[in-house]
Amino acid sequence: MTELIWQGKYDKDGKKNGPVRIALPFQTVETVNESAQDRGRMLDLFAKGKPGEWRNRLIWGDKKYVLPSLLPEFAGKVNLIYIDPPFNVGADFSFTATIPDNPETEEDETTSFTKQASIIEQKAYRDTWGKGLESYLQWFYETAILLRELLAEDGSIYVHLDWHVGHYAKAVLDEVFGYDNFKNEVVWQRFNYHADAKRYGIVHEGILFYTKTEKYIWNPQRTSFKESYIRSHFNQKDKDGRNYRYDNMLAKGDGPARKFGNKLISPNPGTHWRYSQEKIDELWKQDKLIISDSDRVSVKRYLDEIDGAVIHSIWTDINPLNSQAIERIDYPTQKPEALLERVIKASSNENDLVLDCFCGSGTTAAAADKLNRRWIACDLGRFAIHTTRKRLLGNPDVKPFVVQNLGKYERQEWMGAEFPDADSRAAVEQRYRHFMLQLFGAEPVNGYSWLHGVKAHRMVHIGGVDAPVSIGDVKSIVQEFWKSVGKTGDIETNGIDVLGWDFAFEINETARQFAAENKVDVKFKKIPREVLEKKAVDQGDIRFFELASLAVDTKIDKETVTVELTNFIVPPDDVPEDVRHAITHWQQWIDYWAVDWNYRNDTFHNEWQSYRTKKEPGIELSTRHKYKESGTYNIVIKIIDILGNDTTKLITVEIKL
């Protein structure tokens, strides 16, 4: 066996270094396009302890954790995998975003900016390419192992790469999937012309096609014949004007003689007739067979009876996305849907499960949904998840899907691994808080239940990894501050910084109002996911940013509730300077917003949404909903800004019919 070896493939004992195998539960943070009837049916099934109906899944998270977490449910059940992993050494996770026009001016002020990769995305890039090709190969090898385990026995995987690493990746895939299970390298001609000064112009990318076994799903694909081919090959016409050509009836390999009408004709030595006697009799009755004086038999092939040309391994008929393409959403690695449609049609059937763990702009999910396949799409980038969500919603017939992450379970796993020598849960939590205070640049304080540190004359509270910071938490924090600090003056302080992984929907307004009534300045700051990555911590790459705040006007007219966005304030901490200068109106921050009219203290259910697209850059600022029954209803509004960050607000209304 030939094997590709790189530094890091084997440990010091000669054992291969494999992937992380920590399986964590997924948290559903949003359901999208699910009707009230669907929602009620799902809740009813859940209450009866029965499995819910299938929901396609859009997952935000690191593949290192996401793939092993999929294994308990999906090992051996994925029919098709398509991945378009990073393959250019110069690639990164930055993206171009657009600042919309100022709605109060008539001038076209639309500008674009480049949002640099988050620290977690930079870390992923360093893990992939940090040590050059060797680290990429180890990362790719570990990923391929997990993908093979997810693949069904009749499944296939397509790996989209370019000339930088394609040949190395093939060696890895040969090892993981088996040399004999390599079926094709598809060459996709991406450009018609590309000039290079000192080499041949690179106009193609490669797609490596592997199967798990020899018994795999395969649906041959065809494409329309070119006019030049029709003219040269279907140059015969019958009396009805139908184009046809003559095809040879012989194939290699010995075979018996067949009857053609009343004449028995033997094939040439070393050949056989392509068709059975029954098929030959049928063609004879249809007058589709021609016999020459030398007993050479040909069959008529009518152009209108052929679906088209069989697709071969060089694809020149799928063009890249040009600047005016309807499906183009300006995502740097976006692939045309026609490319994925061909792959999905060829190697899966309706209702099969398709996986893409580098979903980018969501092309695989969008194509799979339209072709009635189930799908799971994953990505590390928050903006990729947001882009995919909007793209899917652009299809009026999109099936319901959920947005998921690993949330608190990933944090729990991290906390246990980070502080393994603590002898009790309380000791683990204390070490966790001290660690977070150190990252935040605060000094720990003792003797308090809710106040954990102090920084720049402000007290600091560290939220736990298990649950969002709630209004109840804030009340306890403020009360302890007032009783123990603000009143006694033991520590000179002028407010509180509340750090949390997640925050309750109503936190930024309701909690801040409560604090203001008690004459305490409270700021809520997000603990970034980068804390989970040791390299980011070691390099000092951790930043804490204040939450944005949303103002909403609510009107009730009998059974109808109208909500209107009236202001959206984004703290400047995490905003590039050029973006701050370009935005002159609060509406320009908003890229997408959605409403759950019946929030029930569970998952956010997207029941209405408005968002900007390249074709429709405007956005609605108000919406209304009619309730059928009297009662108290919780309404949750979710905003996603042009940087990909989300902000939520909860409103309670009383309906009296």
For 345-372, write each residue's pLDDT tens digit: 999 999 999 999 999 889 999 999 999 9
Rounded Cα gap, residues 188 and 243, in angstroms: 31
Is the pLDDT score of 88 beyond 80? no
8 A C-beta contact, residue 593 and residue 568: no
Rounded Cα gap, residues 35 and 41, in angstroms: 10
Residue 123 pLDDT: 47
Which regions of the chain carry the CATH code 3.40.1350?
420-545
Confidence label for 192 from pLDDT (cuts 50, 70 and 90): confident
CATH of the domain spanning 420-545: 3.40.1350
Residue 466 pLDDT: 87
Rounded Cα gap, residues 530 and 452, in angstroms: 21
Record the tokens describing residue 141, joined without a space. 């090898």
Is the pLDDT score of 260 beyond 90? yes
Confidence label for 545 from pLDDT (cuts 50, 70 and 90): confident
Q: What is the largest distance, in Å, between two alpha-carbon atoms of the chain?
A: 116
Confidence label for 399 from pLDDT (cuts 50, 70 and 90): very high
Is the pLDDT score of 125 beyond 90? no
Confidence label for 637 from pLDDT (cuts 50, 70 and 90): very high
Q: Which of 512, 478, 408, 491 is nearest to 444 (CA)?
A: 491
Which regions of the chain carry the CATH code 3.40.50.150?
27-89+132-221+312-398
Is the pLDDT score of 56 beyond 80? yes
Kindly write down the DSSP assignment for every residue of 255-272, as one continuous string: ---EEETTEEEPPPTTEE
Confidence label for 518 from pLDDT (cuts 50, 70 and 90): confident
Which regions of the chain carry the CATH code 2.60.40.10?
548-655
Confidence label for 310 from pLDDT (cuts 50, 70 and 90): confident
Q: Other CB atoms closer than 10 Å to residue 635's CB: what's the count? A: 21
Exposed e or buried b per residue across 207-241, where buried means at least 16 C-beta atoms within 10 angstroms of its C-beta: bbbbbbeeebbeeebebebeeeeeeeebeeeeeee
Q: Other CB atoms closer than 10 Å to residue 309's CB: what's the count? A: 14
Residue 539 pLDDT: 73
Residue 614 pLDDT: 78
Mean pLDDT (the chain, rounded): 85
CATH of the domain spanning 548-655: 2.60.40.10
Rounded Cα gap, residues 9 and 142, in angstroms: 10
Residue 178 pLDDT: 96
Mean pLDDT of 17-25: 90
Is the pLDDT score of 134 beyond 90? no
Q: Which fold has domain 27-89+132-221+312-398?
A: Rossmann fold (3.40.50)
**Pairing mode of beta strands 204-211, 111-115:** unpaired
8 A C-beta contact, residue 32 and residue 389: yes
Question: Of 21-25, 132-136, 271-275, 589-593, where does mean pLDDT reach its minimum?
Answer: 132-136
